[in-house]
Amino acid sequence: MGFYPLMLPFEKKLKLGQLEVGGGGFIVAAGPCSIESREQFLEIAQAVQTAGASLLRGGIFKMRTHSHSFQGLGEAGFEIAEDVRERTGLPLVSEITDPRQIPTLGSVVDVFQIGARNMYNYELLKELGRSSKPVLLKRSFSATIEEWLAAAEYVRGAGNPNVILCERGIRTFERVTRNTLDLSAVAYVKAHSDFPVLVDPSHATGVRALVRPMCLAAAAAGADGLLLEVHSKPASALSDGQQALTIEDFRALMNDLGRLLPALGRWLEPGPLPRGAARASLAKTLATAKRVSLVGPDAPFTS
| Residues 176-235 contacting a copy of itself, CB under 8 A | 176-177, 180-188, 191, 204-205, 207, 209-210, 212-214, 216-222
- CB-nearer residue toward a copy of itself: 171 or 275: 171
Report which of 300, 294, 303 is spatially closest to residue 275, judged by C-alpha positions.
Answer: 303
C-alpha to C-alpha distance for 78 and 104, rounded to whole angstroms: 8
Write down the least CB distance from residue 296 to a copy of itself, Å: 15
Among 18, 43, 133, 150, binds a copy of itself (CB under 8 A): 150
At closest approach, how far in Å is the CB of 102 from a copy of itself? 12
CB-based contact 58:32 (threshold 8 Å): yes
User: Which of 164, 249, 168, 230 is CA-nearest to residue 201?
Assistant: 168
How near is the Cβ of 10 to a copy of itself at its closest, in Å?
13
118 binds a copy of itself (CB under 8 A): yes
Beta strand ranges found along 184-274 (DSSP E)? 197-199, 225-229, 267-268
Q: Where are the beta strands (DSSP E) in the chain?
A: 14-16, 19-21, 25-31, 55-57, 92-95, 111-114, 135-138, 163-167, 197-199, 225-229, 267-268
Of residues 16-35, which lie at the interface with a copy of itself (CB under 8 A)? none
Contact range with a copy of itself by CB under 8 A, out of 29-37, 48-56, 73-81, 115-123: 115-123
Residues 41-100 that bind a copy of itself (CB under 8 A): 63-68, 97-100
Min separation Cβ 184 and a copy of itself, Å? 5
Q: Which residues, listed in sequence order, are joined to residue 20 by a DSSP beta bridge?
A: 15
Taking the least distance from each CB to a copy of itself, the nearer of 40 and 293 is 293
- Residue 60 CB, nearest distance to a copy of itself (Å)? 13
Burial readout 120-153 (b: 16 or more C-beta within 10 A, e: otherwise): bbeebbbbbbebebbbbbbbbbebebeebbebbe
Are β-strands 135-138 and 111-114 bridged in parallel, bridged antiparallel, or unpaired?
A: parallel
Which is closer to a copy of itself, CB of 70 or CB of 122? 122
Q: Of residues 82, 83, 194, 256, which one binds a copy of itself by CB under 8 A?
A: 256
Phi first, then psi: what are they for 86, rounded to 5°? -65, -45
Cα–Cα–Cα angle for 168, 120, 207, rounded to 5 degrees: 20
Nearer to a copy of itself, 4 or 301 (CB): 4
Torsion-angle region of 52 (φ positive above 0: left; ψ -120 to 50: alpha; else: beta)? left
**Which window, 22-30, 77-85, 148-156, 266-274, contacts a copy of itself (CB under 8 A)?**
148-156
Of the candidates 14, 47, 270, the residue with the CA atom closest to the CA atom of residue 160 = 14
Tell me: does residue 294 bind a copy of itself (CB under 8 A): no
Q: Which range touches a copy of itself (CB under 8 A), out of 49-57, 168-176, 241-249, 266-274?
A: 168-176
The residue (of 7 and 280) whose beta carbon lies closer to a copy of itself is 7
Q: Which of 262, 278, 295, 300 binds a copy of itself (CB under 8 A)?
A: 262
Bridge-based pairing of strands 267-268 and 25-31 is: parallel
Nearer to a copy of itself, 40 or 118 (CB): 118
Q: 59 has which bridge partners?
A: 34
Pick the binder of a copy of itself from 11, 174, 277, 294 (CB under 8 A).
Answer: 174
Residue from 102, 158, 283, 295 touching a copy of itself (CB under 8 A): that is 158
